[in-house]
Chains A and B, each alone.
Chain A
């Protein structure tokens, strides 16, 4: 430490030049930043559910590459609207990047004796009366069942399967579809809307990109304004703020160079690093100014401040790093990416603050204006010193009551937190105000759900060349059993087509279905039949429900399907993206609890080693477990459950909340190490540190409040919960910690 201080103060220009060079390298990394919506990568893992999903993707085409277009009018039978809709469907098929289209215009009459199935919308039946009759026939068609057109003739759905799912091709294809739908229905009485997973993914990606500008910029501005408020000096605000901004640049540069990029999970990391760096830099600047205002020389004051705050900054970075490191336990590659990025970013934030801040002061103090600002007496932080003193005296006067009360509250809250259930919902990750999301809700309200829980029914022996009657019959048994529970409108499979083709003996329609499928592009064909013909799929259309509800429904589906075909062949199993996400997210969110426990144990041990006292290590944990337990209990009681955002927020916020405890203990470390801590020491230490802790908590909370500007609910929730944890942690540090230390002091005195 001494050598570091000496080097910094001897060569401030070299230090700053090095920082500028690293910043330039980081800026190049920012240029290479990649963005990922996390729809797939978030759940990529070795879990059995994800591996089953990977196998499913190989043989089935999944609905996640589908765009849904709603066309609405007072009466879709109006000739201009109906003609435009038909032309739209035809033109869609010729757009680049489109693999298949399904609509009411694809519907056909049942095949005649020669196997000829005439289209319902026949071109030779073109007068308005005949077209209206065709529309009515489509409404009552068994393969429609209210999914492609509503019974009131007001809403129609066109499903478009995209050929590729790369961001570039999806963007081009959706832009072409948007342009076509707008051009086609211009001047008609029809309205339209577009949605689908590809569009929602695109919107999430745009939001992530926007957040990196808006949230980080807002965080930096808030940080500077708070510095200005606390230091009442522009110069000191710059001295305290610039290292934080540099840390932000370095963190973003790392995300770019490392290839980790910005995801829904790492989205909030840069602003988190910004506020941590702001907080540490303020601690240091405050201490330097306090010493210089008391008559200290510049270099001497800097060295003294670094000696005092430096170890605490290192320790706080270590505990925050431990919180991030605990996330390496996750089975999600994306969470582990956040952990790696967090570990690096915390380290660079520390370097940026502890080296850059003193070097800048040493250099700038040569300027009279800066020197005057540094020597000016520090204004009171938030409240006059006397207010703090009174509060501390009140706390230290009744330590037993406060300790017992807070321990009881923590215990009860922990009990509630213990029962929390992992919960993940698709809507967490998307902007609920986005056009695509609102449209999805509208379609699900007026037509049918767009998501589904799927059931894979193995075809059994004889599979390979085509669909056998036995396989179709087996599918039918599962389909019919599921239909009895979920309704005909919500259960779709080839059995729906088989019943339509052969009402009297659907399983005899295997040959006809094979012939129909042979005409269809593979992307459409493989929606319901595995490419290798090893299995058939049933889709149970399901609206927006969270993971516990999906898991319950999967259990129900599994029970029904197993009972329907108890024939010794491989059993039907729930599948699909919704099922995979529910199963994997539950595991991953539960992993976050393990991460949190690991972070708690590791932080306690580090503090115990730092203070050379296991007892202090334990005492230090209580004020930090308290806010997490309260927040966790609230999540349980309010029904939010433990989501990705909350699991991460609790773990990371714990790591940051411990920082205040360390800054407080840092003032008492010699006495704690020596085992001689006494009440006057505690009173003096908290008299000094309480205003700083309160001020830095305000800085961190307001800085993180910039995440509330995000359009992604998961980021907003992360920010809001983190703020709640920081405020509760401050209460723990200012009330519980001195009370617990006072009890320790009494114990020391009694010995």
Chain B
């Protein structure tokens, strides 16, 4: 679930530089209300579950934009706040995700990703450890139109290179 939120942000981050597919700048795309529906896998080896997210985007200042909202599976939900910065417009982006599941132990996490724009898709990557095992997390975001997008997160084990899709989502502006 944590990765889902990152995906959403990734989807929007490249637009800061003026996404070719959308033809709009980031402010126009990030400000508003969004929903997303799809599947989520907590970690490699776990079964997929349906997930739904709802969040609101707003501009914080000239370089920073924010997305905040909530994602839920059938038995869990998490409050998610994200902000990202435009490092080099049209080329490099930074992204930070914080999430709080309100659980007793753990699950409050903070991640930082770096991303690049490539044509009509954008990719963010970050290394991260899960249960003591090293992975590389990759978000791929493609926008078919202004209000619809698809997001996937794939993690690859550093030792074996085995890939698992953790997130598959369709995002829609409300």
B166–chain A nearest beta-carbon distance, Å: 13
Q: Would B73 and A93 count as touching, CB distance under 8 A?
A: yes
Q: Would A101 and B75 count as touching, CB distance under 8 A?
A: yes
In A86-114, the 8 Å CB interface with B consists of 86-87, 89-96, 98-103, 105-106, 114
Top-8 shortest CB links A-B: A93-B72, A90-B52, A105-B74, A106-B75, A93-B77, A118-B47, A94-B70, A94-B54
Assembly CA distance A105 to B73 (angstroms) = 9
Binds A, one of B7-15, B87-95, B99-107, B153-161: B99-107
Instruction: Sample 8 A-B pairs with CB under 8 A, ordered by A number.
Output: A93-B70, A101-B74, A103-B74, A105-B75, A124-B48, A518-B105, A519-B103, A521-B101
Which residues does chain B contribute within 8 Å of A94, judged by CB atoms?
52-54, 69-72, 77
Interface string of A507-542 (1 = CB under 8 A from B): 000000000011111110100000000000000000
Which residues does chain B contribute within 8 Å of A98, judged by CB atoms?
77
Query: CB-nearest residue of chain B relative to A98?
Result: B77
Q: Is B51 an interface residue (CB 8 A)?
A: yes
Q: Given A90-B72, A118-B47, A518-B104, output 14 extra A-B contacts at Cβ < 8 Å.
A: A90-B50, A90-B73, A94-B70, A99-B102, A101-B72, A102-B75, A103-B74, A105-B50, A116-B46, A518-B105, A518-B106, A519-B103, A520-B76, A521-B76
Which residues does chain B contribute within 8 Å of A522, judged by CB atoms?
102-104
B2–chain A nearest beta-carbon distance, Å: 13
Assembly CA distance A124 to B39 (angstroms) = 9
Cβ contact of B74, chosen from A114, A121, A520, cutoff 8 A: A121
Q: Would B76 and A119 count as touching, CB distance under 8 A?
A: no
Interface string of A67-92 (1 = CB under 8 A from B): 00000000000000000001101111
Which residues does chain A contribute within 8 Å of B77, judged by CB atoms?
93-94, 98, 100-101, 521
Q: Would A123 and B48 count as touching, CB distance under 8 A?
A: yes
Query: CB-nearest residue of chain B relative to A102?
Result: B75
Q: Is A54 an interface residue (CB 8 A)?
A: no
Q: Would B72 and A86 count as touching, CB distance under 8 A?
A: no
A residues bordering B, Cβ < 8 Å? Answer: 86-87, 89-96, 98-103, 105-106, 114, 116, 118-119, 121-124, 517-523, 525
Assembly CA distance A92 to B73 (angstroms) = 10
Assembly CA distance A38 to B157 (angstroms) = 58
A91–chain B nearest beta-carbon distance, Å: 6
Q: Would B49 and A521 count as touching, CB distance under 8 A?
A: no
Which residues does chain B contribute within 8 Å of A523, judged by CB atoms?
102
Q: Would A114 and B45 count as touching, CB distance under 8 A?
A: yes
Q: How many residues of B contact A (CB 8 A)?
A: 28
Assembly CA distance A93 to B50 (angstroms) = 12
Assembly CA distance A719 to B37 (angstroms) = 55
In B48-70, the 8 Å CB interface with A consists of 48-54, 69-70
In B103-132, the 8 Å CB interface with A consists of 103-107
Q: Would B74 and A90 count as touching, CB distance under 8 A?
A: yes
A644–chain B nearest beta-carbon distance, Å: 38
B99–chain A nearest beta-carbon distance, Å: 13
Assembly CA distance A102 to B77 (angstroms) = 12
Assembly CA distance A525 to B50 (angstroms) = 22
Assembly CA distance A89 to B77 (angstroms) = 11
Which residues does chain B contribute within 8 Å of A93, judged by CB atoms?
52, 70-74, 76-77
B14–chain A nearest beta-carbon distance, Å: 25
Query: CB-nearest residue of chain A relative to B168?
Result: A123
Which residues does chain B contribute within 8 Å of A102, judged by CB atoms?
75
Given contacts A94-B69, A94-B72, A119-B47, contact A517 B104 (CB under 8 A): yes
Cβ contact of B103, chosen from A101, A122, A520, cutoff 8 A: A520
Q: Would A116 and B53 count as touching, CB distance under 8 A?
A: no
Assembly CA distance A93 to B45 (angstroms) = 25
Which residues does chain B contribute within 8 Å of A96, judged by CB atoms?
70
B152–chain A nearest beta-carbon distance, Å: 14
Which residues does chain A contribute within 8 Å of B104, judged by CB atoms?
517-518, 520, 522, 525
Which residues does chain A contribute within 8 Å of B102, judged by CB atoms?
99, 521-523
Query: CB-nearest residue of chain A relative to B80?
Result: A94
Which residues does chain B contribute within 8 Å of A100, judged by CB atoms?
77
Which residues does chain A contribute within 8 Å of B48, judged by CB atoms?
122-124
Query: CB-nearest residue of chain B relative to A112?
Result: B47
A311–chain B nearest beta-carbon distance, Å: 67
A334–chain B nearest beta-carbon distance, Å: 34
B29–chain A nearest beta-carbon distance, Å: 21
Q: Would B54 and A91 count as touching, CB distance under 8 A?
A: yes
In B15-60, the 8 Å CB interface with A consists of 37, 39, 45-54
A320–chain B nearest beta-carbon distance, Å: 53
Q: Would B49 and A119 count as touching, CB distance under 8 A?
A: yes
Assembly CA distance A519 to B47 (angstroms) = 16
Q: Would A123 and B76 count as touching, CB distance under 8 A?
A: no
